[in-house]
């Protein structure tokens, strides 16, 4: 008797393998490391901003206005002796071009700011004369003084930067990194005179000729023995 042919069973369904997913997700260590990096970058940015602000408040050591510092070899009639110094009007006209300044018939109004200047020599307050930059009633420069209070006037018909080197050039008093008038730091022993510049009561360590003039600065030259107190501000009259 012939055997019956058996019908084969249908194939069993096989489930496709599924990719395992990590139930924990990304590493917590990686997340924390990324967070700390962000915090560190933010902290560095904040510190940099604070340092920049302090330097601006103190006057800093290197102002950006160095482009205007005049070549003193081109300035006529500079006073290189001890204080007090006269207004330097005799050769003012010869100094205007090298200083990049102009003979104006009226005070400029586009830029109108003021600073105060003190000069101390061995503790004694020396005068900043009136009439600096005002030539015999014929013209005045962008940088000048009206009286003997030490208030410096910056009055320009154009918006631009001015620096302390230009003011001393108008005054006709030598000023560079080593010397102010007849007082020099780097000369043979026995002839050197130490001096410092302060802006708003804080030491300024750069070339004082490059100091950019800004509204209501208190600028003090302390030559030789310092005074009992170095001024950090000045009470400007109403309207200045």
Question: For every one of its 240 residues, what pLDDT tens digit does the chain have, with 9 covering 90 and above?
Answer: 555 555 555 554 444 444 444 444 445 544 555 555 554 445 544 444 444 444 434 444 444 444 456 678 889 999 999 999 999 999 999 999 999 999 999 999 999 999 999 999 999 999 999 999 999 989 999 999 999 999 999 999 999 999 999 999 999 999 999 999 999 998 887 789 999 999 999 999 999 999 999 999 999 999 999 999 999 999 999 999
**Is 121 a domain residue?**
yes
**Is 172 a domain residue?**
yes
User: What pTM was estimated for this model as a whole?
Assistant: 0.73
**Is 136 a domain residue?**
yes
| Burial class, 102, CB count within 10 angstroms (exposed 0-12 / middle 13-18 / buried 19+) | middle
Number of structural domains in the chain: 1
**Is 53 a domain residue?**
no
Q: Residue 150 belongs to what domain range?
A: 64-223
| pLDDT of the residue at 166 | 98
**Is 58 a domain residue?**
no
Range 191-195, long-range pairs (CB < 8 A, 24+ positions): 193/223, 193/224, 194/223, 194/224, 195/221, 195/222, 195/223, 195/224
Residue 175 pairs with which residues in a beta bridge?
180
**Is 18 a domain residue?**
no
| pLDDT of the residue at 23 | 42
**Is 39 a domain residue?**
no
**Is 56 a domain residue?**
no
């Amino acid at each position: 008797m012939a055997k019956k042919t058996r019908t084969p069973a249908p194939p069993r369904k096989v489930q496709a393998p599924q990719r395992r997913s990590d139930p924990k997700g990304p590493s917590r260590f990686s997340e924390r490391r990324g967070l700390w990096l962000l915090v560190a970058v933010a902290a560095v940015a904040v510190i940099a901003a604070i340092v920049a602000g302090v330097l601006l408040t103190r006057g800093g050591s290197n102002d950006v206005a160095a482009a205007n510092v005049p070549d003193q070899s081109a300035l006529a009639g500079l006073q290189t002796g001890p204080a007090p110094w006269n207004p330097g009007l005799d050769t003012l006209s010869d100094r205007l071009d090298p200083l990049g300044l102009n003979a104006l018939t009226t005070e400029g109004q586009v830029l109108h700011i003021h600073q105060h200047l003190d000069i101390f020599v061995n503790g004694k307050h020396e005068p900043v004369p009136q009439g600096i930059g005002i030539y015999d009633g014929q013209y005045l420069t962008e940088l000048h003084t009206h009286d003997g209070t030490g208030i410096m006037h910056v009055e320009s018909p154009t918006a631009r930067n001015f620096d302390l080197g230009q003011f001393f050039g108008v005054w006709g008093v030598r000023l560079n990194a080593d010397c102010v008038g007849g007082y020099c730091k780097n000369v043979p022993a026995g002839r050197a005179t130490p001096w410092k510049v302060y802006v708003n009561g804080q030491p300024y360590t750069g070339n004082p000729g490059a100091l950019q003039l800004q509204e209501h600065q208190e600028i003090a030259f302390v030559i030789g023995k310092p005074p009992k107190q170095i001024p950090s501000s000045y009470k400007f009259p109403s309207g200045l």
